[in-house]
Amino acid sequence: MKNNFEADIAIIGGTGLYQLDDFEELERRKLVTRWGDPSSELILSRYKNKTLIFLARHGLQHNIPPHKVNYRANLWALKECGVKQVIGVAAVGGITEKMSPETIVIPDQIIDYTYSRKHTYFEDELDQVTHIDFTEPYTEDLRSRLLLASDNAIDGGTYAATQGPRLETAAEINKLRIDGSDIVGMTGMPEASLAREIELEYACCALSVNWAAGCAGTKKIDHKEMLEIVDKGMLKIHSILKNILK
C-alpha cells in the first residue's frame, strides 16, 4: 500500500469541509484498522506536485456525530499510510472577544470536557503503563506553518472540547470562559492526544462560525447564519491549505 498510496501530510476535515476544491483527486481507499473503520474513505490528492491525504471526520455525508467519531481508527489509518503531520480543521464557537464569527484561530491549548470516548491506544495488553507528555498539545512547528500560510489567523487560544452533539447552555459557556477557554468545539479531543500517542505531528485550524451561547448578546444560535459563515470561512481554509502545501 505504501508504494502508491502514501503522503507525509493529512487533512482531517470537519463540518463544512468534505472535499478539497482545486485539488486533483488521485485515488480513494477504504481501510480497516485494528481499531475499526475510519469515518470515511481516505482520499489521496495532489496540489502543486504535493500529495496529501484527506479524511472527512464526520463522514463524507456528514452523518457521524462528534461523540461517535472513531478517532482511534482515523489517526491509525493515516499513520499506516505514512502520514507524519496532521492538520485538523474544525468549526467552533467563539467565546472571548477576539473570536468573532469568520475568525480563523490556530489554538495552542486545549481543555477536554468530553466523556465516554475511546481516548487512548494504551489500555489493553500493555507491557507497562504509558504516559505521554501533553503539556503543549499542538505541534509548534506545524502551528507556525499554518500561521505563515494565513494572512490574519489568530495565534493561540484555548479550545474547549465538549461532548455534543447538542450545543452548550449559556451557563456552561460562562463556566468555560472562567476556565480560560477562548473557543468551543466538539471534536478537538481525543483527536489531539491520540495523534501524540502515535507520534504524529498535529495542529488545529479552527474557524469560528458563531458566537457561543450567551456571548455578544446572543439569545439563540441561528443555524442558517452559521452555515453561511461555514461556506465563506471554508474558502479561507482552502487558501491556507494551498499555501501550506506550496
Residue 219 in domain: yes
- Grid cell in block for residue 139: 505541534
* Domain membership flag for residue 212: yes
pLDDT of residue 183 exceeding 90: yes
Is 146 domain-assigned?
yes
Domain that holds residue 28: 9-245
Residue 1 lies in a domain: no
Q: Which residues contact 103 (CB under 8 A, 6 or more apart)?
A: 94, 154, 207, 208
pLDDT, tens only, 141-158? 999 999 999 989 999 999
Three cell numbers written together for 143: 502551528
Model pTM score: 0.94
- Total of domains in the chain: 1
Summarize the annotated binding site for substrate as residue ranges. Answer: 186, 210-212
Residues of the binding site for phosphate: 15, 57-58, 187
Average pLDDT for 130-139? 95
Q: How many Cβ atoms sit within 10 Å of the Cβ of residue 96?
A: 16
* Digit-coded pLDDT (tens) for 185-237: 999 999 999 999 999 999 999 999 999 999 987 777 777 888 889 989 989 99
Q: Which residues are annotated as a binding site?
A: 15, 57-58, 186-187, 210-212
Condensed to tens digits (0 to 9), the pLDDT of residues 41-96 reads 999 999 988 999 999 999 999 999 999 999 999 999 999 999 999 999 999 999 99
State the Cα–Cα distance between residues 98 and 60, nearest whole angstrom: 31
pLDDT at 21 over 50: yes
Q: What local confidence, expressed as pLDDT, does residue 223 receive?
A: 79
CB-based burial, 166-201: b 16+ in 10 Å, e otherwise: ebbeeebbbebbeeebbbbbbbbbbbbbbbbbeebb
CATH of the domain at 200: 3.40.50.1580
In this predicted structure, the answer to whether residue 129 has a pLDDT above a threshold of 70 is: yes
